[in-house]
Each structure stands twice: as structure tokens, then as C-alpha cells.
Amino acid sequence: MALQGSERNNLIEELARATGLEAQASKKMQKSHYDPMTGTWYCKGQVIAANEVTEAEDYFLEQYTKCNNSSDSYTKSLARRYLIAAEAIRMQTEAAKQAQKENDGK
């Protein structure tokens, strides 16, 4: 019998408490988010530093540029996916920075 949903999460949290890893376990269970103060992304239990976020955005933009110059329709569709990824990173980080500015102003 496989545990599912909240039963599974409860078991994981109990095991973490028993082994002294409660703080780490709760961090991994949190929703992914971007910290505009540090530029760090927290995604699916991974901590992604600000420089890695910037490198990822740059990589996707570079790949977009390379693929967008192709006459092949499949490569053009890849270009659009790279553009979406780069813009998603930019939009997420800009929105979080703007929200932080608004919160700081209150």
C-alpha cells in the first residue's frame, strides 16, 4: 500500500523530525519562490543562486538567437520555447523585485 498526498507528507515530516532534519524537510516542501532581496530562487528543494538565475536567462536568450535564425520550422519552434523560458525568468524576477519595492515603501 503506497502512501499518497498528506499521509506521505506527514510521514516525511515525522522522519525528518526524528532525524533532526525538520528545518531542511520543511524548506523542501515549501512552494517554489524567488527571493528578490538575495536574487535566489527556491525550486523543488533546490537553492539556485542569483548568478545561476542570470546565467540561465542569458543561456536561453543565446539559444533563442541561434535558433531563431534558422529556416527549419522545428528549430524555429525551439527558438520560441527558449524565448518563453528567458522571458519567464525575467518576468518572475522583475515582478518579485517590484513587489519587494512596494512592500518596502509601506
**pLDDT above 70 (res 20):** no
Alpha carbons 72 and 64: distance in angstroms, whole number: 14
Q: Which of 51, 42, 50, 5 is nearest to 24 (CA)?
A: 42
Question: What cell does 28 get?
Answer: 523542501
Are the CB atoms for 70 and 79 separated by under 8 Å? yes
| Mean pLDDT, residues 97-106 | 79
Write down the pTM of the prediction.
0.65
CA 3 to chain centre: 27
Instruction: Return the number of other C-beta atoms located less than 10 Å from residue 30's C-beta.
Output: 10
Average pLDDT of the chain to the nearest whole number:
83
* Each residue's pLDDT tens digit, 23-73: 554 555 568 888 888 888 888 888 899 999 999 999 999 999 999 999 999
